[in-house]
Each structure stands twice: as C-alpha cells, then as structure tokens.
Amino acid sequence: MSDRSLRLLFAVCGVAHLAFGTAGAVFPRWFFGVLPPWPPLHVGQIQIAGIFDLAMATAFLIAATDVARYAPLMIAAGVVAELGHALVWIGHIVVGDDPPADLGTPLLMRAFGAILAVAGAGRFQATRHQ
C-alpha cells in the first residue's frame, strides 16, 4: 500500500475514532440512546472507551502527517486495537449480550484491521527484500 493510500486510511481511522471518542467521552448518555446497548451498561465504561478512542484518533491523525515515520507503529497498534475490539464485540453478539443487528460496527473495525494487516505485511516484505 502506498504512503498516499496509507495516509488516507490513517486519516479515515482517525476521524472515525474521533467521532466515537467524542461521543463516548463527552456525551455518554446520548451515546447510549443512539447506539445499541452493550454490556456493561455503565456511563463510566463508555467514557473510558471514549478516551481510548480519542487516544487512537490522535495517534492515527499524527501518523497521517508523516506516514514513513509512524506507519510501523500505527499499523501494529491499529491491527491490535481494531481486530481485538472487533473480536470482543462479536463475542458479545455470539453469546447473546448484543443483538445481531449490532454486527455492522465490529465488521467495519475488522475491515480496518485487515487492511492495516495487509499494508503491514506488504511493507515488511518490501523492506525485507531491499
């Protein structure tokens, strides 16, 4: 994946995390009213998740400013964060804590994580053969 494409992906991930982070940290009760419920239904937990999303947004947006410098770190962090969170959320759906209609967001997170993993593998192969 080219630096230009990766810059766009980092920017999109950053803006998505910024939106969720702001909603979760600043407007947790609104967040509950808009998104399907997920356990545990605790405002403080949503705010903690919001702070995590704000940190991820900051990291992705900084990485978008200098892809060559930050790509190795953000690809690794993004794969772990996106795929890990998606798997936990899908697990809640599988065991019945969340409704099946709630599958869209974790699938989108899985897609981000998979794209980052492919980009990371491509960059690793390119540096290995130099």
What mean pLDDT do residues 19-46 have?
A: 78
Would you state the pLDDT for residue 39?
56
* pLDDT at position 4 over 70: yes
Q: Where are the domains of the chain?
A: 3-128
DSSP per residue over 20-74, as a string?
Answer: HHHHHHH-HHHHHHHSPP-SS--HHHHHHHHHHHHHHHHHHHHHHH-HHHHHHHH
> Measuring CA to CA, which residue among 46, 47, 36, 118 is closest to residue 82?
118
| Cβ contacts of 7 within 8 Å, gap of 6 or more | 64, 67
Would you state the pLDDT for residue 95?
92
